[in-house]
Amino acid sequence: MLLKSPPPLSLLTLERENHGGPISSSASTCNALKNSCGLSALRSTSRGNTGGGFAIRASKEGNSRAIMDVVFDPFEEVKKELLLVPTMPQASLARQKFSNQSEAAINEQINVEYNVSYVYHAIYAYFDRDNVALKGLAKFFKESSMEERQHAEQFMEYQNKRGGKVKLQSMLMPVSDFEHIEKGDALYAMELTLSLEKLTNEKLLNLHTVATQNNDVQLVDFVESEFLVEQVEAIKKISEYVAQLRRVGKGHGVWDFDRMLLNNA
């Protein structure tokens, strides 16, 4: 913050007029004003006036330095930043205090989000089959797949915002059948979902650790505010779905559970 000095004194007169009252000025007062404010004091006498007066003017030779020292000098402190501005066209201009470790960790998280989205999309396709026909579960996993893809895009946008480079990695082909003799396909798919959500949470915590180790408070805030709270809530919701499917078994209860998912907004 730049502290402003008082407005300059253009003209100040202190004269004793013939018709005015006495003033309590002295040579010491004049010298004090001259030394502290950069003013020159001229003792004036006029014909027909028995007493002397003081005319105080702003002096060109006075001290023009601000009374209070400057706390922040942007033009001086910005010099070191100017030296850091990249000149190569391939280099990011926005990058600041963004380590290579943080950049690599974000790319890894992008790959995690896309892989999870890919698995959820495969589960959606399974429950949407004509011989399975559980439309509520199909709707749930389709929305889950889109949500994980959106998370990946959020990390991609943040990577570009910080001056990093997005590097997409390969994804493994997920299985296409989710039948399970003992548990049934609905419970098996939901338990798999719970495991994937917990794995995603672990990956997010690893990213948070990398950001903390590199003193990247902006990345820490991004992960905490955008993902960690939501991830805990998702794990809680999927845990409840697993518990409910374990209660209803593989019979007609799965149909009721599917109707519940289908009617959810």
Annotated binding site: 113, 148, 151, 197, 231
Contact assessment for residue 246 and residue 176, using Cβ atoms and an 8 Å cutoff: no
Contact assessment for residue 140 and residue 245, using Cβ atoms and an 8 Å cutoff: no
Calpha distance 185→183 (Å, rounded) = 7
Binding-site entries for Fe cation: 113, 148, 151, 197, 231
Calpha distance 59→200 (Å, rounded) = 72
| Amino acid type, 137 | L
Tokens of 252: 């007609």
Q: Which residues pair with 39 in a beta bridge?
A: 58
Calpha distance 236→256 (Å, rounded) = 21
Name the strand (E) or helix (H) holding 43.
strand 39-44
Calpha distance 114→94 (Å, rounded) = 26
Q: Which residues pair with 54 in a beta bridge?
A: 43
Q: What is the DSSP letter of 127?
A: H
Which of 175, 192, 178, 177 is closest to 241 using CA atoms? 192
Question: CB neighbours of 244 closer than 8 A, spacing ≥ 6?
Answer: 257
